Structure 1
Amino acid sequence: MNQKTISTVRKSIFTVLMMGMSILFLLPFVWMLSTSFKIEADVFTYPIQWIPKTWHVIENYKEVWNGQFPFYKYYWNSIKITVITTILSCIVSALAAYGFSKIQFAAGKYLFIIVLATYMIPHQAILVPQFILYRSIGFFDSHLGLIMLSSFSVLGTFMLRQFFMGVHNEYIESAKIDGAGHGRIFMQIAFPLVRPAVATYAILRFIWTWNDYQNPLIFLRTDSLYTIQLAMQKFTTINGEFYSLIMAAAVSSIVPLLIIFVIGQKSVIEGIALGGVKG
């Protein structure tokens, strides 16, 4: 066998292995989706019924959304918090990243190192000070408090700074000669050039905020303010014996993540490609 044939065989084997692993990782999701369409008596039948014998689609999802448990209210809470947090975090991180990469000022490098060093502090280590601070300033038990917690991200600032550093200084110097200030340079020159990177970070920020369980658990007390993660825990407690309803609620809770990923998939690929070209 020549070298080309050996390489083709290796790639084929690797592709088959990756496909097998992909199917293995998808099985829990397929089971969850299938279970959400079943009647309760068919959930734990053996062998597993991947395709339900009796479809119970409308009844299960209707019970989740229009039953005694106000699932739609918690869903809206999560959407509101996640969207606002993502927008604010992208704006703040992009501005900070531009400042650290393109604006020269005294001790700028040292300040960035200090900011970056805060990322090494475990979040659990500052929960108590945050809790005390939020109670004293009135942000405790409010959506505004949760939004403010995640509006600044050290990781987002570091990530976007690397892309802003790839913007050639000639563009900025030309704009300054034409009389543009940093605000106009940021909005019309720098930001459009790193938009794929910002979109990639926005998707990551959306997923992190949507899946956040710890912060809402600690900083929310009023039932009507709960996010979808706390609602899922409560819903599971109430309907602990009805796994078809729990799986219907779980499927509903991940739909926004799937939509965001499908919409932003192209931007993620562009961001990765931009990073590769920059490197």
Structure 2
Amino acid sequence: MKTTVLREDSTTARLPRQPAPAAPAGPRPHRRGPAGPGRIVGRALLYMALTGLAAAVLVPFAWMLVSSLKADSEVFTVPIQWIPKSFRWENFSDIWDQIPLWTYLGNSLFLSVVITALQVLTGSFAAYGFAKVRFPGRDAVFLAYIATIAVPWQAYMVPQYILMQKLGLVNTHLSLILLQAFGAFGVFLMRQYYLTIPDEISEAARLDGLTEYGIWARIVLPLSKPALAGLALLTFVNTWNDYMGPFIYLTDNDLWTVQLGLRSFVGMYSSQYAMIMTGSVLSVLPILVVFLLGQRYFVQGISTSGMK
């Protein structure tokens, strides 16, 4: 009986044996099993709670919209009459004849756009200095500046008015623009976002010969679109809804904003509540459009600010 001997090839024998691939480090991914009854019930309760909160937030807006289609005597009925007896669609056409609404909307739009642009410019520029430029006392100056947020506006309202009166800027839009062109909150928001941008990018740009102005304009700003959109949206909404500022500084009817214009329906003995609700609905529409266009950048900018 012949015995067959298997011989390895010399070339194959010389090759080193490859070690077996090591298992990946770290904990093994947990595989979720089928959702149990407890998890389904908990998720259903969570969705119900969120739906209830959303409904509580939307109820005032729904009441405002319904009241804009009622007569004055039906606005404050008890209990609330959610479906009007007769829909008064003519309220949305009569309001343009009773007050110069186009003028009020134009003034509000002008102030909101100008103040928003200035706050985004000044806030982003100051935030760059606090976040990317090293100088003695930087953190102390930043904390002192941010501390002004805690000071209520009523504390310095009278000195501001006296200053604007001495400058002859009362009853002008310029007074509101100068007072609101700078904001500590915008500086804080932009600085927190700038901290998420690696310093190595700025250092490399300095080695390439870019000045601080060039780094801010050509590198930092393009990387900060979400934070800029968030700051712009917040500033636009706050300026559009501002009532006390225009009420104090603007006396000419041609300079009034839409918030002041709605006061035209408030009389000494009676008020046109339906018209007030109609004007409120029309004043909310521009904010709604702006928010719908920029909500993606707004949420991204707010959620990433402060993360490093």
TM-score (norm 2): 0.82
Structure 1 residue 46, shift from structure 2 partner: 6.8
Q: Percentage identity across aligned positions? A: 37
1:200 aligned partner, one-letter code: G
Larger Rg: 2
Question: Unpaired segments of 5 or more residues in structure 2?
Answer: 1-33
Corresponding residue number in structure 2 for 1:253: 283
Match of 2:94 among 39, 51, 63: 63
Moved more, 149-158 or 227-236: 227-236
TM-score (norm 1): 0.90
Match of 1:96 among 120, 126, 134: 126
Corresponding residue number in structure 2 for 1:160: 190
* Residue 237 in structure 1 maps to residue 267 in structure 2: yes
* Residue 109 in structure 1 maps to residue 132 in structure 2: no
> Is 1:239–1:245's contact at 8 Å kept on the other side of the alignment?
no
Corresponding residue number in structure 1 for 2:179: 149
1:10 aligned partner, one-letter code: G
- List aligned pairs for 1:7-26, cutoff 5 A: 7-26=39-58
Deviations 1:128-179 (A, max 9, x none): 1101111111221110110111111101101110111111111111111111
How many angstroms apart in 1 are the aligned matches of 2:218 and 2:280?
42
Structure 1 residue 244, shift from structure 2 partner: 2.3
How many angstroms apart in 1 are the aligned matches of 2:152 and 2:302?
28
Corresponding residue number in structure 2 for 1:182: 212
* Residue 193 in structure 1 maps to residue 249 in structure 2: no
Distance 1:5 1:45, change over 3 A: same
2:58 aligned partner, one-letter code: L
Distance 1:196 1:232, change over 3 A: same
What SS does the corresponding residue of 1:37 show, helix, strand or coil? coil
Structure 1 residue 219, shift from structure 2 partner: 1.5
> Is 1:64–1:249's contact at 8 Å kept on the other side of the alignment?
yes
Structure 1 residue 93, shift from structure 2 partner: 0.3
Distance 1:40 1:218, change over 3 A: closer
CA RMSD in angstroms comes to 2.2
How many angstroms apart in 1 are the aligned matches of 2:281 and 2:245?
22
- List aligned pairs for 1:216-231, cutoff 5 A: 216-231=246-261
> Is 1:175–1:185's contact at 8 Å kept on the other side of the alignment?
yes
Instruction: Judging by fraction of residues, say which structure has more helix.
Output: 1
Corresponding residue number in structure 1 for 2:69: 37
1:208 aligned partner, one-letter code: N
> Is 1:77–1:227's contact at 8 Å kept on the other side of the alignment?
yes
What SS does the corresponding residue of 1:34 show, helix, strand or coil? helix
Structure 1 residue 104, shift from structure 2 partner: 1.4
Question: Unpaired segments of 5 or more residues in structure 1?
Answer: none
How many angstroms apart in 2 are the aligned matches of 1:133 and 1:42?
46
Moved more, 228-237 or 90-99: 228-237
Counting matched residue pairs gives 275
